[in-house]
Amino acid sequence: MSIIESNDLHLYYGKHEALKGITMDFNEGGITALIGPSGCGKSTYLRTLNRMNDLIPSVTITGKVTYKEQDIYSPRTDIVTLRKQIGMVFQQPNPFPFSVYDNVVYGLRLEGKHSKSELDQIVEESLTAAAVWDDVKDKLHKSALSLSGGQQQRVCIARVLAVKPEVILLDEPTSALDPVSSGKIENMLLELKDEYTMIMVTHNMQQASRISDKTAFFLNGDLIEYNDTKKMFLNPGEQETEDYISGKFG
């Protein structure tokens, strides 16, 4: 069953058409990689799925995005709730300048959850699921900014997991990290993929082929091909996909 669908989605920055009618759907669970050369619209598309582009004044959107069959651009949509259901992880780790613990419980406190035992339990669960509990269990009350970049990114993922989203959008989550930290995050995403629907922009073709179930190839604001990752890398259906993944342009 699909959990998110976009239908003939166009997005303009002023007069520039960055997305030219994207129709695609995402099944529940698993990892979908969005790939394509710089400027093709991958991040823009990712951000349309939880209305992050609303923050940019010049943006106009036509077409439809549904989450569980509800139009997310409807005036009835509550954006705070939507962004809890569809969480986001950014390229640069962006912990808040407070303790690891306070980072993880941030969204829960906004929801009015204050019971210490409940918060303690969610902190441990979320940091464990984000594969960073062992690194930080003795530093929960130290500033998150004192951690390494890779640890910070995993704490940011724990912060998203703590509010129990169904979908996680990841915008190049490992591109600012060293290979060891990237590998830890890839393994963690593989552990989480039965429980969450994950959609990830990546520049790294090996990463897409290692961890994603499906891959979507974007070019100049168009969706060129969307297929099972194995098929896409072994036997692409479009010449442009083949040229891109074989490194002829990019």
Ligand X SMILES: Nc1ncnc2c1ncn2[C@@H]1O[C@H](COP(=O)(O)OP(=O)(O)OP(=O)(O)O)[C@@H](O)[C@H]1O
Name the minimum Å distance from CB 37 to ligand X. 7
CA–CA distance, 135 with 125 (Å, rounded to integer): 14
Find the shortest distance in angstroms from Cβ 173 to ligand X.
Answer: 13
Rounded to whole angstroms, the Cα distance separating 177 from 200 reads 16
Q: Are 207 and 183 in contact (CB under 8 A)?
A: no
Q: Which is nearer to ligand X, 131 or 200 (by Cβ)?
A: 200
Cβ proximity to ligand X: between 57 and 179 the closer is 57
Query: CB of 35 within 8 A of CB of 223?
Result: no
> Toward ligand X, which CB reaches closer, 44 or 197?
44
Q: SS3 of 236, please? A: coil
Least distance (Å) from ligand X to the CB of residue 205? 13
Residue 14 or 149: the one with the smaller Cβ distance to ligand X is 14
Residue whose CB is less far from ligand X, 16 or 76: 16
Min dist. Cβ of residue 167 to ligand X (A): 18
Pick from 148, 147, 140, 135: which is nearest to 122 by CA?
A: 140
Residue 154 CA, distance from chain mean position: 13
Q: Which of 191, 192, 185, 187 is nearest to 167 (CA)?
A: 192
| Phi-psi label, residue 218: left if phi above 0, alpha if psi -120 to 50, beta otherwise | beta
Max intra-chain CA distance, the chain: 57
Please say which residue, 36 or 150, places its beta carbon nearer to ligand X: 36
Task: Compute φ and ψ for 113, nearest 5 degrees.
Answer: -85, 120
Can you read off the two tokens belonging to residue 145?
């900014």
Q: How far apart are CA 213 and CA 81, in angstroms?
A: 27
Q: Which of 117, 113, 153, 118 is nearest to 136 (CA)?
A: 153
CB of 113 to ligand X, least distance (A): 34
Pick the closer one to ligand X by CB: 17 or 125. 17
- Residues lying near ligand X in the complex (CB under 6 A): 13, 16, 18, 36, 38-44, 56, 203
Least Å distance, CB 43 to ligand X, is 3
CB of residue 35 to ligand X, shortest distance in Å? 9
